[in-house]
Amino acid sequence: MKRDLGALENQQFDLVVVGGGIFGVCAAWDATLRGLSVALIERGDFAHATSANSFKIVHGGIRYIQHLDVKRIRESSRERTALLRVAPHLVKPLPIVIPTYGYGMQGKAILRTGCLLYDLLTLDRNRGIGDPAQRIPWVRGLSREECLTEFPGLEKDRLTGGVLFYDAQFHNPPRLVLSFLRGAVERGAVAANYVEAVDFLQNDRRIVGVRARDTLSGRTFDVRGKVVLNAAGAWAPGLLSKYLDAPVKPPLTFSRDTCFIVPRRLIGDKAVAVLGETKDPDALMSRARRHLFVVPWRDYTLIGVWHVVYEGDPDKFTVNERELQSYLDEVNGAYSGLNLSLDDISMWNAGLVLFGENKPQAENLSYGKRSRIVDHQVESGLQGLISLVGVRFTTARGAAQKVVDMTFRKLGRRPPRSTTLHAPVFGGNIDHFGDFLERTLKACPQALSPDVMQRLLENYGTSHTDVLAYLSEQPEWANRLGHTKVIQAEVVHAVREEMAQTLADVVLRRTELGTGEVIGRDTLKQCAGLIAAELDWDDSRIERECDQMEEYYTGRSASPNLRPSRAAII
């Protein structure tokens, strides 16, 4: 992927996508597979906002059993299946245990019955998945003893057992976004990060492109397209109201979804769902309260999710120490064996997601149900403009398919069949990941340890060879950055082939380097030095980039004891 702004302004595209999160990127991927010419611009880095800060769970729709919403169950299960199939290196099944206390509506029998109903409604959940390790098993009940063996810190009083079901998990969400995008670019899409849409181009009541500004140089230019897709997430309503005076009706509400990371494994290979303090007001059949999840992820533990309606500037939300302490109090009350403090949290993740309509100060919040797709020709008479605001990372592919169908109709053409349900993402053409892993580890270069090689395969899939190719240019690029499992070749690859422009692009999105815990100054400078050699940075730019990363960690760290210092932390 090359950042070629000239290619953006020197042609007219069938589709111009504004927004480089998972929804915009999936639209670009689908459109290019169906033969459309596509441009995609992103005002920050690809996947830098909500997409990179999700809870990493691929939701298969089991929660919607409580709402008797069969349509959402079927949709979520289908999209989970698609991701397990097209990105087997980045999406894996995740076992989750729900403990049960007492009997009746809160007991094991009722919960297992609901889960079995879910299984029956999703009998096709493994269709087209040839790898047994990627398939979603049937639900099964657990005894009290089995639950306590897995999670000895659970409250024992009135514990009757539990239910084991499976969802799936993203190994690295930004890399999945990049894999979709790389596939789109390979098929002719023109994409650029750090390019902001500052206005819409209009011809009477038709939108014919966007006025764009390169945020790195300040240069302004036009990107012309027959159809424009506004997929800017929480920033989408602002674009419409600021430049077109065409607000979405009814107005969109967003939630600041928050989770936090503990930089060690607190549990085994299964997640656990424990009862929090709020209820689901939309549920027709509900357990006593909503669940909080304690989830193993890589070498870490994720805990969440907490929702707060947010109505301010999307660029200015934060999570303060008081809120984090209240979240800790809630999760410690639900799972007393954790006994966590702020010093246990390496950082918090949060993003803005589409939410339901809620009364002011409501405690039991109504969550977002479906993505919003707006045809502005119907809404306000503006031709050539579509807005897509997604509700869950999991459903991005399906929402993108609908948007591309609409794009074809706006172009006066019959939509060809979408192939994204089965087309592997870039690096994802793997029939059986276990066999691929075993075979490739046997051929692991002597300069790399097996754990580093496995991590490369989990992040890059079959495209790991692109990273290894750099070792013939500079053998020392096989060396790790600090004490992490990230090698120097990944940094070079991120700049040369994945459009990384800043230190944060590499540390937070192209690699695993700083996504789970705070990276010390020495390691940051080592990484920045590799980028500097590629982008011709001077020493002052290196220091400035490191300062900005430390500021990021200071804002994301829960405890002063875990905030960065001049010494290398990992």
Q: CA of 244: how far to CAs of 210, 248, 296, 381, in Å?
A: 12, 11, 45, 12
**Could you check whether the bond before residue 305 is cis, i.e. omega within 30 degrees of 0?**
yes
Query: CATH 1.10.8.870 occupies which residues in the chain?
Result: 433-562
Per-residue pLDDT of the chain (570 residues; tens, 9 = 90+): 999 999 999 899 999 999 999 999 999 999 999 999 999 999 999 999 999 998 999 999 998 888 788 999 999 999 999 999 999 999 999 999 999 998 876 778 888 999 999 999 999 999 999 999 999 999 999 999 999 999 999 999 889 999 999 999 999 999 999 999 999 999 999 999 999 999 999 999 999 999 999 999 999 999 999 999 999 999 999 999 888 877 788 888 899 999 999 999 999 999 999 988 766 555 545 555 688 999 999 999 999 999 888 989 999 999 999 999 999 999 999 998 999 999 999 999 999 999 865 555 555 545 556 789 999 999 889 999 999 999 889 999 999 999 999 999 999 999 999 999 999 999 999 999 999 999 999 999 999 999 999 999 999 999 999 999 999 999 999 999 999 999 999 999 999 999 999 999 999 999 999 999 999 999 999 999 999 999 999 999 999 999 999 999 999 876 655 555 433 333
Tell me the HSE value of 554 on the side-chain side, using a 13 A CA sphere. 10
Compute the distance between CA of residue 511 and CA of residue 1 in angstroms, rounded to an integer. Answer: 16
Compute the distance between CA of residue 106 and CA of residue 114 in angstroms, rounded to an integer. Answer: 11
Contact 97, 163 (CB under 8 A): yes
Contact 41, 65 (CB under 8 A): no
Residues 6+ apart with CB under 8 A from 227: 14, 15, 16, 384, 385, 386, 407, 410, 411
Contact 337, 151 (CB under 8 A): yes
Contact 453, 467 (CB under 8 A): no
Query: CATH 3.50.50.60 occupies which residues in the chain?
Result: 5-50+174-250+370-410
CATH fold of 433-562 reads: Helicase, Ruva Protein; domain 3 (1.10.8)
Compute the distance between CA of residue 549 and CA of residue 529 in angstroms, rounded to an integer. Answer: 14
| CATH number for the domain running over 5-50+174-250+370-410 | 3.50.50.60
Query: And the tokens for 293?
Result: 């999840």
DSSP bridge partners of 303: 260, 294
| CATH number for the domain running over 83-170+252-355 | 3.30.9.10
Full-model pTM: 0.94
DSSP bridge partners of 367: 355
Compute the distance between CA of residue 157 and CA of residue 149 in angstroms, rounded to an integer. Answer: 15
Residue 395 DSSP code: G
Compute the distance between CA of residue 255 and CA of residue 290 in angstroms, rounded to an integer. Answer: 16
Contact 420, 86 (CB under 8 A): yes
